[in-house]
Amino acid sequence: MIKSHRHQVVYHLYPKSFQDTNGDGVGDLNGIRKRLGYLQRLGVDMIWLCPVYTSPGYDHGYDVADYTSIDPLYGSMDEMEALIDEASQHDITIMMDIVANHTSYCHEWFIASEHDPDGPYGDTYIWRDEPTEVESFFGGSAWTYSSIRQQYYFHSFAKEQPDLNWKQSIVAKEFAHILSFWIEKGVRGFRFDVIDLIGKQFHPHRWLDFERVQEGLREMMASVDRSNLLLVGEAGGLSPSEIRQLQEEGLLDVVFNFETCALDEVAGKNKWHLQSFDPAELKKTIKKWQDEMEEDGWNSLFWNNHDQPRVLSRWYDDDIRAAKMLVLLQLTLRGTPFIYQGDEIGMTNGNIQQSDYQDIETLRYLQQGGAIQSVQLKGRDHARLPMMWTKEGGFSTGTAWLRGMTHVDRNVHDQQLDDDSLLQVYRRLLSIRKAEPALLDGEMKWHETPSTMIAFDRIHGEQSLRILVNLSNHSIQHRIKMGKTLIGVGDYCEEELGPYAAVLCYTF
**Interacting residues toward ligand ISL by CB under 6 A:** 59, 62, 99, 137, 157, 193-194, 236, 271, 306-307, 361, 380
Catalytic entry in 234, 344, 361, 381: 234
Cβ 177 to ligand ISL, closest distance in Å? Answer: 21
Of 114 and 381, CB closest to ligand ISL: 381
Cβ 365 to ligand ISL, closest distance in Å? Answer: 9
Q: How many residues does the chain have?
A: 508
Q: Among Ca ion, ligand ISL, none, what does residue 22 contact (CB within 5–8 Å per kind)?
A: Ca ion
24 binds Ca ion (CB under 5 A): yes
HSE toward the beta carbon, residue 319, CA cutoff 13 A: 14
| Options 12-20, 79-87, 230-238, 370-378: segment touching Ca ion (CB under 5 A) | 12-20
Q: Among Ca ion, ligand ISL, none, what does residue 229 contact (CB within 5–8 Å per kind)?
A: none
| Options 25-33, 287-295, 385-393, 422-430: segment touching Ca ion (CB under 5 A) | 25-33
Cβ 120 to Ca ion, closest distance in Å? Answer: 38
Beta strand 463-470 pairing with 453-460: antiparallel
Of 22 and 180, CB closest to Ca ion: 22
Residue 442 Cα to chain centre, angstroms: 24
Site for Ca ion in 339-378 (CB under 5 A): none
276 C-beta neighbours (distance < 10 Å), count: 7
Q: Among ligand ISL, Ca ion, none, what does residue 137 contact (CB within 5–8 Å per kind)?
A: ligand ISL
Minimal CA–CA distance to 110: which of 126, 98, 99, 94?
Answer: 126
38 C-beta neighbours (distance < 10 Å), count: 16
Q: Among Ca ion, ligand ISL, none, what does residue 24 contact (CB within 5–8 Å per kind)?
A: Ca ion
The residues near 417 (Cβ < 8 Å, ≥ 6 apart) are none
Q: How far apart are CA 308 and CA 344, in angstroms?
A: 16
Query: How far is the first Cα of the chain from the last one, in angstroms, to the nearest whole number?
Result: 30
Q: How far apart are CA 311 and CA 303, in angstroms?
A: 7
Residue of 19, 28, 231, 430 interacting with Ca ion (CB under 5 A):
28
Catalytic entry in 20, 45, 193, 196: 193
Q: How far apart are CA 485 and CA 506, in angstroms?
A: 6
Q: How far apart are CA 79 and CA 341, in angstroms?
A: 21
Beta strand 93-98 pairing with 46-49: parallel
193 annotated active-site: yes
The residues near 241 (Cβ < 8 Å, ≥ 6 apart) are none
Check: CB of residue 397 under 8 Å from CB of residue 21.
Answer: no
Q: How far apart are CA 20 and CA 30, in angstroms?
A: 8
Check: CB of residue 260 under 8 Å from CB of residue 285.
Answer: yes
Beta bridge partners of 492: 497
Of 99 and 438, CB closest to ligand ISL: 99
Q: Among Ca ion, ligand ISL, none, what does residue 361 contact (CB within 5–8 Å per kind)?
A: ligand ISL
Q: How far apart are CA 92 and CA 87, in angstroms?
A: 5
Lay out the site mask for Ca ion across 443-472 (x = CB under 5 A, - = otherwise): ------------------------------
Cβ 60 to ligand ISL, closest distance in Å? Answer: 7
Residue 441, H or E segment: helix 437-441
Residue 362 Cα to chain centre, angstroms: 19
Q: Among ligand ISL, Ca ion, none, what does residue 20 contact (CB within 5–8 Å per kind)?
A: Ca ion
Which strand ranges, in their side-by-side order, compose the sheet holding 127-128? 127-128, 151-154, 143-146
Residue of 10, 13, 26, 213 interacting with Ca ion (CB under 5 A):
26
234 annotated active-site: yes
| Options 16-24, 128-136, 336-344, 373-381: segment touching Ca ion (CB under 5 A) | 16-24
Cβ 100 to ligand ISL, closest distance in Å? Answer: 10
Cβ 49 to ligand ISL, closest distance in Å? Answer: 13
Q: What are phi and psi of 211, to 5 degrees?
A: -60, -35
Of 137 and 389, CB closest to ligand ISL: 137
Cβ 113 to Ca ion, closest distance in Å? Answer: 33
Of 362 and 411, CB closest to ligand ISL: 362
| Options 20-28, 57-65, 105-113, 293-301: segment touching Ca ion (CB under 5 A) | 20-28
Residues that bind Ca ion (CB under 5 A): 20, 22, 24, 26, 28
Q: Which are the catalytic amino acids?
A: 193, 234
